[in-house]
Structure 1
Amino acid sequence: MSNLTKIGVIGAGNVGAAIVNALVLRNVGKEIILFNRDKDKAVAETMDIDDTIPLLSEMTIKATNDYKDLAKCSIIAVTVGARQKEGETRLELLDRNAGIIKDIIKNLDKYAPNAVLLMVSNPVDILTRVAQEATKRDSNKVFGSGTVLDTSRLRFQVGKELNVNRKNVHVHVIGEHGDSEFAVWSNAIIGSVKLKNFPLPENIKLAQLKKKTMKIVKNRAYEIIQKKGYTNYGVAVAVVKLIQSVIRDEKKIFSVSVKANEEYNLEKGTVLSLPCTIGNQGVEYRLNVTLNKKEKNLLQKASKSLSDAYKEIKA
Structure 2
Amino acid sequence: MSRTIGVIGLGHVGITTSFNILTKGLADTLVIFDTKAGLAEAESYDLRDALGGLNTYTEVLYNDYAALKEADVVIFAAGDISAILGGDRNSEIKTSKLAVDQVSPQLNASGFHGVLIDISNPCDVITTYWQEKLNLPKTQIFGTGTALDTYRMRRSVADTLDVNVDDVRGFSIGEHGETQFPAWSTVRVNNQPILEMDGIDYDGLSEAARLGGWKIFNEKHYTAYGIATIATELALAVCSDAKRVFPVTCFDEDYGFCIGHPAVVGRKGILSNPPMTLTDDEKQKYAKTAQSIKDTYDKLKALD
TM-score (normalised: structure 1): 0.90
Shift of 1:278: 0.5
Any residues of structure 2 matched to 1:107-256 within 5 Å, and which?
107-198=106-197, 205-206=199-200, 208=201, 210-256=202-248
Q: Deviations over 1:87-141 (max 9, x none)?
A: 2411121123213213312221221431100011111110000000112210000
User: In 2, Cα distance between the equivalents of 1:98 and 1:186?
Assistant: 35
Q: 1:300 aligns with which of 282, 287, 291?
A: 287
Q: C-alpha displacement at 1:216, in angstroms?
A: 2.1
Deviations 1:63-110 (A, max 9, x none): 422322322111000111121435241112112321321331222122
How large is the Cα RMSD of the aligned pairs?
1.6
Aligned-pair identity in percent equals 27
Structure 2, unmatched stretches of 5+, are none
Q: Which consecutive residues of structure 1, in runs of 5 or more, have no partner in the other structure? A: 263-267
Structure 2 counterpart of 1:7, from 5, 8, 14:
5
* Distance 1:113-1:50 versus aligned 2 partners, 3 A rule: closer
**Whole-Å separation in 2 of the counterparts to 1:92 and 1:216:** 22
Farther off after superposition, 89-98 or 158-167: 158-167
Asked if 1 retains the 8 angstrom alpha-carbon contact of 2:17 and 2:232, the reply is: yes
What is the deviation of 1:61?
4.0
Distance in 2, matches of 1:113 and 1:119, equals 15
CA distance in 1, matches of 2:96, 2:191: 42
Partners of 2:105 and 2:213 in 1: CA distance: 31
Question: 4+ residue runs of structure 1 moved beyond 3 angstroms?
Answer: none
- The aligned residue for residue 45 of structure 2 is 47
Contact 1:39-1:63 at 8 Å conserved across structures? no
Letter in structure 2 aligned against 1:100: A
Cα distance in 1 for residues equivalent to 2:142 and 2:107: 15
Q: The residue matched to 1:291 in structure 2 has which SS? A: coil
- 273-282 or 217-226, larger mean C-alpha shift: 217-226
Question: Counterpart amino acid of 2:68?
Answer: L
Instruction: Give the C-alpha shift of residue 277 in structure 1.
Output: 0.5
- For normalisation by structure 2, the TM-score amounts to 0.93
- 1:185 aligns to what SS in structure 2? strand
How many residue pairs match? The answer is 301
